[in-house]
Amino acid sequence: MRKKFASACALTVLATGFTPQSAMAASGAAGSGAGYAVSGYDVSVAYEPKTEVLTGDTTVKLTTKKPLDELTLNLALPAVAVEINGKAARSFSASDGKLRVTPAQRIGTGKNVKVRIRYAGQPGKDNPAWARTEDGGAVTVTDTASSWFPTSTDKSARAQLNVTATVPAGWVAISNGLELPAEDRAGRNSFRWRTAAPLRPANATLGVGPWKLERSRLDDGTPVVNAFGKGAEDRAKPAADQLPSMMKHLTESYGAYPFDSVGGIFVDPVVRNTPYYAGQGRAVISGTYADGFDPSILVHELAHSWFGNSVAPATTDDAAISEGLASYAPWQWAEAAGGTDLDARYRNEIKTLADDTDWWRQTIVPSSMGMYTKTPYALHALRKSIGDTDFDRLLREWTTRYANSHRTWTEFEQLAAEVAGKNLTGFFDAWARGTTIPRDVYLWPAGMKN
């Protein structure tokens, strides 16, 4: 998800440049039916740096849920040809990022269909999803997968993704999933990626550039692929080298890693306020790293594997189950890796914030800036209220019971009460929906004030 660091009340907190509307794009509205279900995307793209043109040839494999005289896909680039099961479509048109296709004849219910779309254009033209890097490369940094391949209009739908990305010699292309052997085609390199776990289009990632790929494995065998843009490696690598330790901590805290590979894309963007982004198994860290790189950023992005990518928000109002829960991960990492006394941190910072009425006015639900600023404190207060054992069990139960689904913040509250075996309505009313500082019973649980 997108975010950048800001300062508030002398505290370093996670902030965001996006609005609730873009949070909705990230989560997708579960049940926004498209009339079909996608089972897979076979994506073949080629990128030409000199012209910044991406040429694509993608086949979308789907099954119809009802008779279709027309089907619609998301695609930001101009389509040049469309075929359905090997036959040219009767017609197709594009507007407002939608590709509308009329088949040669009506498609019945329950039919398996392959829609092949050929397209070309400049994905970075007026599109914040496509971030140029100072070394001439580019990487996707928001949830708009349609900037490089056609996707279902149902943002909640998950499907397999197979990617072949062709780039000039000396360049690399990195996407989601497992890396397959690359191919040399007429002096150009074709990199291939395949997901073992289905993904939402919101979590699809593509990066291309004259970058260095570094490969390794976690202790459990999970492949790690890190990409470093020119000039970024020396500054970002000390943090990237901590990724295995971070993943060990995160799996111990939240349960088994839900995907098939992991890694970061560390690049210097042309636009300085380019956001960070957590694709499925690919954390995009975009920054100048002038003063080195804060490892807590990477921890936050990796935590989105559980909070946001696997268990995704059902609606805009529920975005805190992604950004909010992931925002407590750096606290836990500081405690586990650095021995930080979180009780002392909470106590000192809450005292600093006590009189900041604007800060307390932010809500966690409905999600606003409070999902970044207030949620870590709310979760630490919850942890003290129900105890470490139940708190740890809550997070693991949340990520396992609801893996690969869309959920609401209300369900998180319900699960917390279930695990703790007590009514937590007052606590969550004060912290999640409250617009003033909570009463002491919720603000200072378990004698935290002293």
DSSP notation for 146-164: GGTS-EES-TT--BEEEEE
- Split at pLDDT 50, 70, 90, the class of 132 is very high
Residue 394 half-sphere exposure toward CB, CA atoms < 13 A: 24
CA distances from 439 to 1, 32, 278, 367, 428 (A): 32, 40, 35, 21, 12
| pLDDT higher than threshold 80 for residue 14 | no
- Split at pLDDT 50, 70, 90, the class of 294 is confident
290-296 long-range Cβ contacts below 8 angstroms, 24+ apart: 290/235, 292/235, 292/238, 292/239, 293/235, 293/236, 293/238, 293/239, 293/266, 294/5, 294/239, 295/239, 295/242, 295/246, 295/333, 296/330, 296/333, 296/334
Q: Mean pLDDT across the stretch 417-442?
A: 97
| pLDDT higher than threshold 90 for residue 240 | yes
Rounded mean pLDDT of the chain? 90
Q: Mean pLDDT across the stretch 236-247?
A: 94
Across 358-368, b (16+ Cβ under 10 Å) vs e yields: ebbebbbbbbb
Give the whole-number percent of the chain exceeding pLDDT 70: 92
- Split at pLDDT 50, 70, 90, the class of 33 is low
Residue with tokens 């996670």: 14
Give the whole-number percent of the chain exceeding pLDDT 90: 81
What is the pLDDT, as a whole number, of residue 127? 85
- Split at pLDDT 50, 70, 90, the class of 292 is low
- Split at pLDDT 50, 70, 90, the class of 288 is low
SS3 234: helix
User: At how many degrees (to 10) do helices 295-303 and 233-240 cross?
Assistant: 60
pLDDT per position as a tens digit, 320-334: 999 999 999 999 999
Cis before 269? omega within 30: no
What is the pLDDT, as a whole number, of residue 280? 96
What is the pLDDT, as a whole number, of residue 448? 86
- Split at pLDDT 50, 70, 90, the class of 16 is very low
Helix-then-strand count for the chain, H and E: 13, 25
d(CA 8, CA 30): 34
- Split at pLDDT 50, 70, 90, the class of 40 is very high
SS3 368: coil
What is the pLDDT, as a whole number, of residue 340? 97
pLDDT per position as a tens digit, 441-450: 999 999 888 7
Q: Mean pLDDT across the stretch 421-430?
A: 98
- Residue 39 buriedness (CB in 10 A; 0-12 / 13-18 / 19+): middle
Q: Mean pLDDT across the stretch 401-421?
A: 97
Q: Mean pLDDT across the stretch 188-205?
A: 95
Range with lowest mean pLDDT among 35-39, 109-113, 142-146: 142-146
d(CA 146, CA 137): 19
| pLDDT higher than threshold 50 for residue 28 | no
What is the pLDDT, as a whole number, of residue 289? 57
d(CA 6, CA 14): 7
| pLDDT higher than threshold 90 for residue 136 | yes
| pLDDT higher than threshold 80 for residue 251 | yes
What is the pLDDT, as a whole number, of residue 184? 87
What is the pLDDT, as a whole number, of residue 291? 58
pLDDT per position as a tens digit, 356-394: 999 999 999 999 999 999 999 999 999 999 999 999 999
